[in-house]
């Protein structure tokens, strides 16, 4: 170590040992001489540059970049360029070394990466430096994915060594990791790193629970291993007969996921049956992967009975982050449920290392697999291009669009489009092409007309009809969730406003000429008087008739070249007397139900989440604070309640009576051909069906309408008649009862 003269002898030893460990793990002897020499140069430069710094733990700072380089190589699987960049990742930010010096020695590529890893300076005037920096990292991500992978390695090491930090800093770093890095790791398919992040976050946030679960896992290890053996034993013969090498592991699940189960299922550790998953990994040629994985599935399920609903085939359709695997849950010995994951070695590497492994297999990967990351990178690029300068907004767009799971939908020609979960039909239109979005006039899903705000479901086939006269309006902003669509609609609205504003400006200029005053001299007086924020706002205000130019004479007098507001006494506005609002009564008479076979023994109320109607299939659920609630069995809450709190569920049956009425909520969609719709609907309900409307809300979107009607009905028969009747009306395309509000 020629340069590191500033280090004490004991530190030198530590550093040398760390460096040797790095070299050994990356098998430096097998690298080409240039890479080898550059790694050494990067190491020397970093050792020298960081010589005056120490980490919070007291150890020499240089140990951090060395370890980050090792994580890049071993845990993410990156090559020499990343190793060199990782060694240098903090020198520009923390030391005297400049980017130019890095460029002279290591060239453009590594400089680009190091620059991406260097925090922005001069971050004053910025609300969230964290968000700004993250945006910068992503910008570089588009140019070189390694930036974000090294950033991950950096974060992993910082999280692992968090113990030396004061508690409040630990919490802050953990929260950041939770907000951005863990979801990003998930998105990049860095499964191991994501899991470790979650565990380390929990270790900071809930240290006691973390320790508790760790101990319990250790205590039960032997018992678990015995069980796993018992599970595997009967499979081995058949697996060997396939003729390809395989491994079976039975790893416990992460502390975090166990804790999650304890919380959501509200059961103690001792009652969690699936503390581990069995993984069967086969070393097979790529073209046989799928066939052999299903063969293994067949072998496993011959011995252990499968639970069909738990079968997940991510081999035929990989997850959006590239994950491929075949999962199933079977009933193992002693009736215990066991999750089994079946995959090839290649799939396993992708599952553990995600993005990085993807590059390695890029050349040979199948279409779907290879497209996954390219599509993702495209959407990152898109968000970057469309995002305004506001970093916080960018970050939230990024989170909603790129961390969420996706829906898969199809174009009329059968091309698959991937959109974030929750995306609407209008988002789809914008995803095809901006112009198609702008002029989108009608949308059909699976050949049925839907409102623009329709939430896409997996497998939907979407057809867009455009009309060149169609233009985006304010309401559209509420009907999209993707960053791209939102940005495009906003810019169209802005453009529209600007165009309209031009008319406003022209009329103002005319007015000024009439009054024989100078435009430039007076326009700001008007902006201020009418309380606008800017001139364009005033112009738009004039164009949209918020400001009446005729009133200028009433509000101003002309003094020479200038308008001067006329002083008036402030008017005192009398407070209006509050109007008494009558709330509609919920039920005309009290509905009667038999609860657990007896009448009038229990007090109960109808659940407001699903509004049961006399005749519906219902059950009673004993709440902790609100007494007995009656839910529909189709209520989305029902599955959860019944599965988890079976002991609180009570049988409930209607005692049919005629003088009771119930609220039923209907969603009606259809073609809006003018003002006739509301009239037709209300006439049909009131006159033809003889029902009372409690509330009626209708919204038109360019030729389509979506209405929400609350009806008072006596029972499900009446309700079904009403639904059928409304469905037959001209222009109505769907009538559905709301499952839950």
Residues designated as active site: 93-94
- CB under 8 Å to 128, separation ≥6 — which residues? 391, 392, 395
Report if residue 90 touches Mn ion, rule: CB under 5 A. Answer: yes
Q: How far is CA 48 from the centre of its chain?
A: 43
Cα angle for residues 570, 572, 573 (degrees, 5° grid): 130
Place of tokens 């020609």: 413
Query: What pairs with residue 564 in β-bridges?
Result: 557
Give least dist CB 71 to Mn ion, A: 11
3-state secondary structure 550-580: HHHHHHEEEECCEEEECCCCCCCCCCCCCCC
The span of 82-90, 133-141, 319-327, 430-438 binding Mn ion (CB under 5 A) equals 82-90
Closer to Mn ion at the Cβ: 162 or 449?
162
> CB of 161: closest distance to Mn ion in angstroms?
11
Q: Give the x/- contact pattern for Mn ion in 38-77, rule: CB under 5 A.
A: ----------------------------------------
Q: Which stretch binds Mn ion (CB under 5 A): 85-93, 393-401, 586-594, 619-627?
A: 85-93
Least distance in Å: CB of 173 to Mn ion? 12
**Does 154 sit near Mn ion (CB under 5 A)?**
yes
Q: How far is the CB of 12 from Mn ion (least distance, A)?
A: 21
Q: Give the E-state strand segments of 357-433 in sequence order.
A: 406-410, 416-420
**Closest separation between CB of residue 49 and Mn ion, Å?**
13
User: 737: which strand partners?
Assistant: 666
Task: With H, G, I as helix, E, B as strand and everything else as coil, classify residue 504.
Answer: helix
Q: How far is the CB of 157 from Mn ion (least distance, A)?
A: 7
Closest CA to 87 of 139, 138, 49, 56: 49
What is the rounded CA–CA span in Å between residue 35 and residue 14?
24
- Residue nearest to Mn ion as judged by C-beta position: 154
Nearest-angstrom CA–CA distance, 443 and 451: 7
Q: Judged by CB, which is closer to Mn ion: 154, or 397?
A: 154
Q: Which two tokens stand for residue 294?
A: 């299903």
Stretch that binds Mn ion, among 150-158, 225-233, 649-657, 665-673 (CB under 5 A): 150-158
* Least CB distance to Mn ion at residue 287 (A): 42
Instruction: Phi first, then psi: give them for residue 382, nearest 5 degrees.
Output: -60, -45
Stretch that binds Mn ion, among 83-91, 143-151, 227-235, 520-528 (CB under 5 A): 83-91
Distance CA 676, CA 542 (A): 33
- Give bridge partners of residue 332 from the DSSP assignment: none
The answer for residues whose C-beta is within 8 angstroms of residue 493's C-beta and 6 or more apart is 472, 473, 474, 477
Query: Considering beta carbons, is residue 85 or 369 the nearer one to Mn ion?
Result: 85
Of 135-143, 151-159, 469-477, 641-649: span binding Mn ion (CB under 5 A) = 151-159
**Which residue's CB is nearer to Mn ion, number 48 or number 154?**
154
User: Which of 42/480 has CB closer to Mn ion?
Assistant: 42
Nearer to Mn ion, 90 or 348 (CB): 90
Closer residue to Mn ion in complex, CB, 117/606: 117
**Which distant-in-sequence residues (6+ apart) come within 8 Å of 594 by Cβ?**
652, 653, 654, 655
- Is 172 buried (19+), middle (13-18) or exposed (0-12) by CB count in 10 A? middle
Q: Considering the complex, what minimum distance in angstroms separates the CB of residue 95 from Mn ion?
A: 12
Sequence length of the chain is 741
Name the one range near Mn ion by CB under 5 A: 84-92, 124-132, 195-203, 673-681: 84-92
How many residues bind Mn ion (CB under 5 A)? The answer is 2
DSSP assignment letter at 672: -
Closest to Mn ion by CB, 110 vs 449, is: 110
Residue 199 touches Mn ion, criterion: CB under 5 A? no
Could you list the residues that contact Mn ion (CB under 5 A)?
A: 90, 154
């Amino acid at each position: 170590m020629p340069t590191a003269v500033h280090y004490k002898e004991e530190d030198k030893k530590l550093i040398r040992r760390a460096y040797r460990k790095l070299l050994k793990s990356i098998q430096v002897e097998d690298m080409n001489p240039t890479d080898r020499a550059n790694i050494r140069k990067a190491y020397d430069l970093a050792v020298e540059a960081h010589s005056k710094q120490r980490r919070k733990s007291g150890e020499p700072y240089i140990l951090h970049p060395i370890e980050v380089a090792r994580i890049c190589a071993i845990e993410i699987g990156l090559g020499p360029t990343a190793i060199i960049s990782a060694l240098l990742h903090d020198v520009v930010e923390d030391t005297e070394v400049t980017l130019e010096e890095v460029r002279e020695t290591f060239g453009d590529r590594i400089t680009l990466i190091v620059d991406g890893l260097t925090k922005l300076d001069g971050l004053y005037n910025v609300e969230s430096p964290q968000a700004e920096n993250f945006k910068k990292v992503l910008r570089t991500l588009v140019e070189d994915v390694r930036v974000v992978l090294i950033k991950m390695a950096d974060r992993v090491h910082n999280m692992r060594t968090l113990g030396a930090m004061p508690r409040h800093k630990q919490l802050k770093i953990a929260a950041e990791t939770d907000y951005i890095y863990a979801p990003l790791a998930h998105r990049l398919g860095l499964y191991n790193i994501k899991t470790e992040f979650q565990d380390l976050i929990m270790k900071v946030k809930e240290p006691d629970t973390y320790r508790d679960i760790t101990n319990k896992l250790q205590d039960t290890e032997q018992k678990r291993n015995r069980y796993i053996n018992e599970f595997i034993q009967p499979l081995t013969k058949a697996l060997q007969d396939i003729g390809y090498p395989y491994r079976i592991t039975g790893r416990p699940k992460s502390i975090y996921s166990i804790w999650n189960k304890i919380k959501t299922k509200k059961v103690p550790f001792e009652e969690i049956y699936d503390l581990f998953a069995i993984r069967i990994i086969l070393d097979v040629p790529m073209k046989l992967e799928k066939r052999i994985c299903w063969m293994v599935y067949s072998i496993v399920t011959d011995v252990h009975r499968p639970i069909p609903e738990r079968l997940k085939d991510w081999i035929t359709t990989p997850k959006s982050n590239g994950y491929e695997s075949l999962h199933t849950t079977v009933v193992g010995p002693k009736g215990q449920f066991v999750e089994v994951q079946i995959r090839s070695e290649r799939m396993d590497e992708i599952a553990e290392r995600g993005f990085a492994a993807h590059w390695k297999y890029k050349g040979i990967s199948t279409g779907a697999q290879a497209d996954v990351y390219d599509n993702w990178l495209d959407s990152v690029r898109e968000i970057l291009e469309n995002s305004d300068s506001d970093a916080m907004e960018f970050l939230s767009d990024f989170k909603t669009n790129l961390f969420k799971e996706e829906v898969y939908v199809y174009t009329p020609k059968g091309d698959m489009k991937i959109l974030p979960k929750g995306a609407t039909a209008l988002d789809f239109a914008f995803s095809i092409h901006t112009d198609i979005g702008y002029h989108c006039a009608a949308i059909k899903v699976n050949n049925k007309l839907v409102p623009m705000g329709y939430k896409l479901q997996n497998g939907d086939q979407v057809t867009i009809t455009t009309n060149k006269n169609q233009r985006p309006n304010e309401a559209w902003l509420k009907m999209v969730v993707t960053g791209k669509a939102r940005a495009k609609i906003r810019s169209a609205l802005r453009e529209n406003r600007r165009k309209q504003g031009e008319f406003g400006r022209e009329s103002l200029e005319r007015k000024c000429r009439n009054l024989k005053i100078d435009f430039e001299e007076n326009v700001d007086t008007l902006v201020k008087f009418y309380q606008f924020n800017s001139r364009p706002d005033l112009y738009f205000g004039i164009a949209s008739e918020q400001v009446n130019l005729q009133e200028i004479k009433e509000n101003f007098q002309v003094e020479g070249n200038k308008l001067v507001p006329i002083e008036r006494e402030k008017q005192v506005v009398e407070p209006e007397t509050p109007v008494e609002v009558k709330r509609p009564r919920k039920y005309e008479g009290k509905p009667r139900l038999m609860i657990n076979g007896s009448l009038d023994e229990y007090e109960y109320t109808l659940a407001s989440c699903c509004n049961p109607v006399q005749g519906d299939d219902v059950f009673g659920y004993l709440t902790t604070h609100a007494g007995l609630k009656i839910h529909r069995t189709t209520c989305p809450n029902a599955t959860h309640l019944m599965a988890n709190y079976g002991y609180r569920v009570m049988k409930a049956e209607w005692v049919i009576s005629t003088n009771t009425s119930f609220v039923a909520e209907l969603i009606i969609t259809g073609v809006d051909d003018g003002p006739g719709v509301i009239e037709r609907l209300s006439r049909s309900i009131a006159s033809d069906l003889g029902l009372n409307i409690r509330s009626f809300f209708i919204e038109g979107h360019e030729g389509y309408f979506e209405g929400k009607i609350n009806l008072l009905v006596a029972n499900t028969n009446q309700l079904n008649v009403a639904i059928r009747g409304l469905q037959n009306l001209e222009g109505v395309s769907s009538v559905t009862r709301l499952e839950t509000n």
